[in-house]
Structure 1
Amino acid sequence: MKKPIGNIALVMTLSAFICNMAQASQFTDPLDGAFDMGEYLAENAYGFLPVPIIITEPAVGYGFGVMGMFLHETEQQKEARRKLALQSVDGGAMLIPPAVTVAGGGGTENGSWFALLGHRRVWQQDSIRYLGGIGVGRAIMDFYPWSNNQGPLKERGFEIETKGLGGMQKLQFRISNTPLFLGVQQFYSDSEVTVNNILGTEHTYRFGNTKSSGLGVNLEYDAKNSFFYPTQGWDFKAEYLWYRSGIGSDNDYETLLASSTAYFPIAPRWTLAFAVEYNALTTDESRLPPLAYPDINLRGIPVNRYQGNYTSSYQTQVMWQWTPRWSISVFGGVGGNSGIGEANEGVSTMFEQMKWAYGSGFRYLIARRYGVHMGMDFAFSEHDNAFYFNVGTGL
């Protein structure tokens, strides 16, 4: 099992950096005197929240990167949020979230690297939502097409190298004054895929350049009490995309994603949360690019370790707000996948060999004015373990 070694010094350096910054008045919260980046993000034209990315993802090895999160508001919005934040601990966090831009990149020890830019914005009192992003990079990871089968091939994988660029965008409209949104979305990628070490040999197969282009619709019901760190309420999301040659795709297939999270206060400072996710891919083609297939999405399980035409995951998490600034959590979940290329009967095989993962984490309220919590999760599974820097609850 890989273990997160060699990162203690970096964490200590970041801690010392935060302590030094806290000595400046712009990084001290006027309500409790604690370190806080809310005023800096709001009042500094170039202010951003640095999010370190210490990569321990078993699929790509150890690595490091950094993301910058920029928040955008008008002067009137800033003043309204500032006044509410001075009146109560979570006052500013209850307002409509500001526009958010994220930018950054990173790399890992096996030669994988990425750079991305994303943006989220709302208009007309959160009646219209937009989310978009573009990225470029190179990913080298193992592909396990027989992970759901019994027999000698179950643990047999081969290395795939994917180089290219991609992007997505989503536009949603609120239905009347309800929490329900309907929208449209687009996905596009242009990548070169090479398969190495097939069945333990030196044989290499090059897919060549593959374009994936999809258009689709989405539905979202959002009744959570916070965008950045919800502690009450629930949401539901469904997305259906068609990939067709008529819109620039080299392969014809459809994907469905349905997910939901729910947060229940069970005692003062205690929250119980649940999350479920279901993915389906249907096609008449016998071969698609390896990364087109969905995988089990659980902290602690390597990315793309368990792929299939159908995948699902089920998680629960308990969060304890230890102090007004610090919170800790424990979480656990299971997931399942069908085989790749299986027809409708693959849905039932998805539940035959469930995989598990569990862990714990902590969060610090780093920007109280916006309700932004940042921290780390330590996760374990039967194959590996890893830790992650996260903004939000992690679900």
Structure 2
Amino acid sequence: MKKLRHISMLIILGVFCLSVATVMAQDAPKDTTKKKEKHKVSFKDSLDHAFDLSNYMIYAGGFVLVPVPITEPALGGIGGALVPVFLKQRAPLIDTVNGKVRIRRINPDITGALAMYTANNSWMAGLFRGGTFAKPNITYRAMAAYGSLNLSFYHTFPVIGEKEFKFNFKVVPIYLQALKQFGNNNRWSAGIQYLFLDAKISSKGDNMPDFVTSKELNSIISQVGGVFQYDSRDNIFTPNKGVRLQADFFWSNSILGSDYNSWQIDYSAIGYTPIFKKLIGGLRIEGQQSLGSPPFYTLPFVNLRGVPSGRYQGKATLQSEVETRWDFYKRWSAVFYGGTGVAYDKWSDMFANDLVYSYGTGFRYLIARKFGLRMGADVARGPEKWAYYIVFGSSWLR
């Protein structure tokens, strides 16, 4: 869940919760009796009797409250979001394929809310909805929110060099997506997406800097695009094997009611494979390209742990990160990772600009065995300072 860079971090949060709720509902046992039995919710696993949230996630009675820690340095370093999610089961669809009767399971309808607050007084509230058009096998997602975000941007001047500028953004984002799954195993999907963003900007300093145009102080972004995806991961939370490939784009134009004429192209490849029995290796390659005349706050930035969001921006970025997870004792794991990236304005400058790097370590605990869900914390060192992150599932959740 990948889109308008800074603002998209919060849009993605809601869209990701749709995916989380969908998987939890899919894996939950279905009631085949006319009278529902009450299940005792236990926080101990039935196999090893360790602390485990699987039964809570399965037998939550259609309601799940997802707490999401926010440790992004660009948003103050600490904060959190509460995401209450309501699930409504859908009856299976019985159809005929090549003369054979097939019973196809339908994802539940999902409705939820989002409330977020961070240490630098950034906040956001919103609603989201996800569902399925069963016969054509099309899934849809929708989200709308309102928030006030305090973010820093950096600009380099010829004489004084780089300088930090702090802004407040009053934003109204609306995101819509529809994906059609196809293929025998539904690993392939393609569809369309739309993003509307009403943004009002004010300076947190004395004066508005010269690189901010008058149009950017109060403007509307309206853009439509496409999504192409292949996903063979064994689960969306903490995969042990599989690949996820995605390419998407956005087109913004005055025809759509936008104040900007621009293109945005995103592409990513994430893969996992067992190296040894208890050692999992991962690789992430990701890039972004912005064309035309987008507003300064939507330009791509280097996205690595240990590097604040928006710190290194350009019209294009390319980054790569490797990670290993060592399941060394029962439910406990250690992770080690490192990555590098570059932001540039022209392809000819890609290898001329300085590389941004980061590295770090962390731990994971298998907190929901039936879902393969691990949770933990990472510490990372970037070019300038250390940062920490609370990790739910994987740092590469997309």
Task: Settle same-fold status: TM greater than 0.5.
Answer: yes
Identity %: 28
Structure 1 residues 42 and 355: CA distance shift in structure 2, 3 A: same
Task: Give per-residue Cα distances to partners, 1:181-227, cap 9 Å, x unaligned.
Answer: 11111111111012454899899976332111111111101111112
Q: Is the 8 A contact 1:158 1:199 kept in 2?
A: no
Q: Is the 8 A contact 1:198 1:204 kept in 2?
A: no
2:251 corresponds to: 242
RMSD: 3.2
Cα distance in 1 for residues equivalent to 2:234 and 2:168: 41
Question: Does 2:193 align with 1:174?
Answer: no
2:56 to 21, 37, 40: 40
2:279 corresponds to: 270
The one-letter amino acid paired with 1:128 is: I
Q: Quote the offset at 1:115 in angstroms.
A: 2.6
Question: Does 2:200 align with 1:192?
Answer: yes
The one-letter amino acid paired with 1:361 is: G
Q: Quote the offset at 1:99 in angstroms.
A: 6.7
Q: Is the 8 A contact 2:340 2:355 kept in 1?
A: yes
Q: Quote the offset at 1:43 in angstroms.
A: 1.6
1:16 corresponds to: none
| More displaced stretch, 169-178 vs 297-306 | 169-178
Q: Quote the offset at 1:164 in angstroms.
A: 1.4
Task: Give per-residue Cα distances to partners, 1:78-103, cap 9 Å, x unaligned.
Answer: xxxxxxxxxxxxxxxxx998776664
Q: Number of matched residues?
A: 342
Q: Quote the offset at 1:365 in angstroms.
A: 2.1
Cα distance in 2 for residues equivalent to 1:221 and 1:391: 22
DSSP-derived class of the 1:105 partner: strand
> Where does the alignment leave 5 or more consecutive residues of structure 2 unmatched?
1-39, 93-104
1:28 corresponds to: 44
Cα distance in 2 for residues equivalent to 1:372 and 1:117: 25
1:17 corresponds to: none
Cα distance in 2 for residues equivalent to 1:308 and 1:187: 21
DSSP-derived class of the 2:300 partner: coil
Cα distance in 1 for residues equivalent to 2:114 and 2:207: 36
Q: Quote the offset at 1:106 in angstroms.
A: 2.9
Q: Quote the offset at 1:376 in angstroms.
A: 1.6
2:288 corresponds to: 279
DSSP-derived class of the 2:370 partner: coil
Task: Give per-residue Cα distances to partners, 1:355-381, cap 9 Å, x unaligned.
Answer: 001111222222222222222221210
Which structure has more RCO (C-alpha within 8 Å, separation ≥ 6)? Answer: 1
Structure 1 residues 278 and 377: CA distance shift in structure 2, 3 A: same
Q: Higher strand share goes to which structure? A: 2
| More displaced stretch, 361-370 vs 312-321 | 361-370
> Where does the alignment leave 5 or more consecutive residues of structure 1 unmatched?
1-23, 78-94, 340-345
2:67 corresponds to: 51
The one-letter amino acid paired with 1:314 is: S
TM-score norm. by structure 2 comes to 0.76
Cα distance in 2 for residues equivalent to 1:212 and 1:200: 21
The one-letter amino acid paired with 2:377 is: M
2:16 corresponds to: none
DSSP-derived class of the 1:366 partner: strand
Cα distance in 2 for residues equivalent to 1:278 and 1:355: 14
Structure 1 residues 71 and 236: CA distance shift in structure 2, 3 A: farther
1:106 corresponds to: 116
Cα distance in 1 for residues equivalent to 2:290 and 2:206: 24
Task: Give per-residue Cα distances to partners, 1:50-97, cap 9 Å, x unaligned.
Answer: 434253x332324422333647474999xxxxxxxxxxxxxxxxx998
Structure 1 residues 153 and 164: CA distance shift in structure 2, 3 A: same
Q: Is the 8 A contact 1:301 1:357 kept in 2?
A: yes
2:96 corresponds to: none
Cα distance in 1 for residues equivalent to 2:303 and 2:337: 14
1:348 corresponds to: 348
DSSP-derived class of the 2:395 partner: coil
Q: Quote the offset at 1:324 in angstroms.
A: 4.4
Question: Does 2:71 align with 1:64?
Answer: no
Q: Quote the offset at 1:311 in angstroms.
A: 0.9
Cα distance in 1 for residues equivalent to 2:328 and 2:150: 40
Matches within 5 A, 1:367-378: 367-378=368-379
1:362 corresponds to: 363
Structure 1 residues 388 and 235: CA distance shift in structure 2, 3 A: same
The one-letter amino acid paired with 1:222 is: D
Question: Does 2:312 align with 1:306?
Answer: yes
Q: Quote the offset at 1:167 in angstroms.
A: 2.2
Q: Is the 8 A contact 1:195 1:205 kept in 2?
A: no
Q: Is the 8 A contact 1:120 1:129 kept in 2?
A: yes
Q: Is the 8 A contact 1:145 1:307 kept in 2?
A: no
The one-letter amino acid paired with 1:241 is: F
